[in-house]
Chains A and B, each alone.
Chain A
C-alpha cells in the first residue's frame, strides 16, 4: 500500500497500471482521502493560529494537493482527483478551500516552506490550483530547492516503508521534514540505500533533472541554501517548533521525533546568540529512535555534518546531547576564528594547535601594544615641544591627505596652508608673502600709514606665524593672524 502510494507520488514514470493499482484499492485511496478529513481539525488551526502552526498544516495540505496532483494531471481520464471528487465532494471542496486558505496564509508567511513544498509539483500543480499556485515563482533556485526537497522526501521513503502509514499527510510531513532538513543531508541520504535510490529515480522528471543538477551542486551550494534558510530561519524556527511538536503527537515517527527533538533543541538553546540551529537527536526518546536516526546521521556525517548556523547534526559515535552539540558548534566557531587570526598574525602558519596559536596571538597583541608605547615615547622625545611641523611631516610621510580631510585639523590651518608645497621654510616665507599680499590688497585703499603699519605688523605677523609653527600655540588674535587664517580659508574652510 505504501509502495503503491509512493509510486503514485512519484508519478510520471509509472504506468497507468500503477494508477490502477492505486485507485483500485480505492479503500486505500479513500483512506488517504479520508485522512485529510482527519487533518481538517488541524487545518482549522490554520485559521486559529496562523503563525504557529500553519506551515505544517500547509504542508499537509500541500502534501495532499501534491498527492492528488499527479493523478489528476497525468492520469487524465482517470484522476485520483476525480476519485476524490466522486468520493466526497464536500470533503474535497472543503479541503480545497482549506488548501486555498492555507496557501494564502502560507503566502503571507516567509516564503520558505510553501514554495519548497510546491516546487515539487509546480509544473503539475499549475493545472490543479491555478489561482493560488500561480503565485509561486518557478525560478531556478526554486527548482533547486524543490529538487532538494524531493530528494529528501525520496530519501525518507525508506523510512516510510516501515511505517504503516499511507496517508498523504505523512508525505506532507516528510515534505516539511525535507524543508526543515534541507541542505547537504539530502544527497547523503540518497546515497545511503537502495530503496532510497529507487525512490529517488522514481521522482518526477523535472525534479529528477534538477536533482541531478542540484545533486553535485548541493554540497557546494549547501551554503546558499543555508543562507536562504538562515535569512528566514529565525522566523521559521518558532513556527517549526510548534508544528513539529504537533506532528510528533500525531504519529511519532522517527523523523518527526527527530524534528521535534530538533525543535526542542533549538528552543533549549536560546543563548546561542541567535544561532538558528536545529540540533538533531536529542537524548533519547527511545533507543529505537536513536539507532534509526543514528544510522542516518552516521552516513550523513561522513559528508557534511553541520552547516554551522542552521542545522547541526550529531556526528557518528558522538554524544547527541544538546549541550555537547552546542559545544561542538561553538568549538568549531572558535576554530574558524582562530584560522582567521592565523592569517593575520605573521609567522603562525607553521604553528598548529589551539594553545600555541593562542599564545602566539597574545604575544603578538602584546608586542603591538608595546610598539605603540615605544613609538609614542619616541615621538615625545623627537618632538620635545610637540611642535609638529606638519608640512615636513606630511611631506616626508608621503601620506596623501586630502584637502578636505586636512581642513579638519583646525589649529594647524595656517600651517596646513604651508604644508601643501613640501618646502618647509622657503615656502613659509612664500605663503607669508602671499598672505601679506592678500592682506595688503584689500587694504590698499587705506592710507599709506596704515600700510606701513601693515608692514610693521607684517613682521609681527611673521613672528606670530613662526610662533605658531614652533610650538607657540597661542595665536594672538590680531587681524594679521586672522588674515593668515583667511588664506587657508581660501583653500579650505576654517573651523573656529
Chain B
C-alpha cells in the first residue's frame, strides 16, 4: 500500500529488523547494569522504554526520517553514553512553520489538530502540516511494528 503510492513513501522494514535492534538495545542495557541491580522498577521501565524508542528509530531508518532523527537526537542529549548520534553531513533545512503558525490562515481546524500531532510525533515542531502527516504515517507504521515485536517478546518471556 505504501510502496504503491509514489508520492509518499512510507516503507517500513520487516519485523526482524525491529526485533534485532530492540534485542540489541536490551542486551546493551543489561551489560550496562551487570550485577548490581539496585535500580527500581521505574528506572528499569524507563530504560526499557527508551531503548525501545531508540531501537525503533534506528530500525526505521536512522537519519532518513525526520521523526527518527529528532528521537535519536533527543535520546543522545539525555544520555550521551548509550546513544550514538551522528550529525548529518549536509545541513538539514528545517521548515520553520512558526511564522505560519502566527498568521494562521490555513484551516484552523486542521491546524489545531496538527498542533496536537506535533506534540506527539517527535520532531514535529519544525514541520509543515503536510510533511507532518507524512511523518505521522511513517511513525504510526513503525510504532505498530515495534509494538508487535515487544508483544512477541513479552509473550515469549511470560510463557517461559
A interface with B by C-beta (< 8 Å): 273, 323, 327, 330-331, 333-334, 336-338, 340-341, 343-345, 354-355, 358-359, 361-362, 364-366, 368-369, 371-373, 375-390, 392-397, 399-402, 405-406, 408-412, 424, 471-474
The answer to whether residues A409 and B23 also contact, given A331-B107, A344-B140, A375-B150 and a CB cut-off of 8 A, is yes
CA distance A323 to B105 in the complex (A): 10
A337: contacting residue among B29, B120, B133, B151, CB under 8 A: B133
Q: What would 13 more interface pairs be, CB under 8 Å, given A345-B140, A368-B144, A390-B27? A: A337-B133, A340-B10, A355-B113, A365-B121, A365-B136, A365-B140, A368-B140, A375-B52, A376-B150, A389-B160, A395-B156, A396-B159, A410-B27
The answer to whether residues A393 and B156 also contact, given A334-B133, A380-B44, A471-B30 and a CB cut-off of 8 A, is yes
Q: Which of B4-20 contact A (CB under 8 A)?
A: 5, 7-8, 10, 15-16, 19-20
Q: Is the CB of A381 within 8 A of B109?
A: no
B143 to A, closest residue via Cβ: A368
Q: Is the CB of A377 within 8 A of B155?
A: no
The answer to whether residues A354 and B107 also contact, given A368-B140, A372-B53, A379-B157 and a CB cut-off of 8 A, is yes
Q: Is the CB of B45 within 8 A of A380?
A: yes
B19: contacting residue among A362, A381, A399, CB under 8 A: A399
Q: Is the CB of A337 within 8 A of B8?
A: yes
A358: contacting residue among B7, B31, B114, CB under 8 A: B114
CA distance A333 to B143 in the complex (A): 24
A395 to B, closest residue via Cβ: B156
Q: Is the CB of A364 within 8 A of B160?
A: no
| Tally of contact residues, B, Cβ under 8 A | 65
Shortest CB-to-CB span from B91 to chain A, Å, is 16
Q: Is the CB of B120 within 8 A of A375?
A: no
Q: Is the CB of B41 within 8 A of A401?
A: no
The answer to whether residues A341 and B49 also contact, given A362-B120, A379-B154, A393-B153 and a CB cut-off of 8 A, is no
CA distance A386 to B41 in the complex (A): 11
Q: Is the CB of A341 within 8 A of B133?
A: yes
For A368, what are the chain B residues with a Cβ–Cβ distance below 8 Å?
A: 140, 143-144, 147
B20 to A, closest residue via Cβ: A405
Q: Is the CB of A341 within 8 A of B156?
A: no
The answer to whether residues A355 and B109 also contact, given A334-B129, A336-B7 and a CB cut-off of 8 A, is yes
CA distance A405 to B17 in the complex (A): 9
Shortest CB-to-CB span from A398 to chain B, Å, is 8
Q: Does B92 have its Cβ within 8 Å of any Cβ on chain A?
A: no
For A387, what are the chain B residues with a Cβ–Cβ distance below 8 Å?
A: 30
B43 to A, closest residue via Cβ: A380
CA distance A350 to B7 in the complex (A): 24
For B95, what are the chain A residues with a Cβ–Cβ distance below 8 Å?
A: 273
Q: Is the CB of A372 within 8 A of B49?
A: yes
For A330, what are the chain B residues with a Cβ–Cβ distance below 8 Å?
A: 106, 129-130
A–B Cβ pairs within 8 angstroms, 28 of them: A273-B128, A327-B105, A330-B130, A334-B110, A337-B134, A337-B137, A345-B140, A354-B107, A354-B110, A358-B117, A359-B113, A361-B136, A362-B116, A365-B143, A368-B140, A368-B144, A375-B147, A375-B154, A376-B45, A388-B23, A388-B26, A392-B156, A392-B157, A392-B160, A397-B19, A397-B152, A405-B16, A472-B35
CA distance A401 to B121 in the complex (A): 29
Shortest CB-to-CB span from A336 to chain B, Å, is 7
The answer to whether residues A471 and B35 also contact, given A344-B141, A368-B140 and a CB cut-off of 8 A, is yes
Shortest CB-to-CB span from B73 to chain A, Å, is 18
For A395, what are the chain B residues with a Cβ–Cβ distance below 8 Å?
A: 156
Q: Is the CB of B137 within 8 A of A341?
A: yes
Q: Does B48 have its Cβ within 8 Å of any Cβ on chain A?
A: yes
Q: Is the CB of A373 within 8 A of B26?
A: no
B151 to A, closest residue via Cβ: A375
Shortest CB-to-CB span from A362 to chain B, Å, is 5
B34: contacting residue among A333, A343, A361, A474, CB under 8 A: A474
B20: contacting residue among A343, A375, A406, A474, CB under 8 A: A406
Contact with A along B95-116 (1 / 0, CB 8 A): 1000000000111011001101
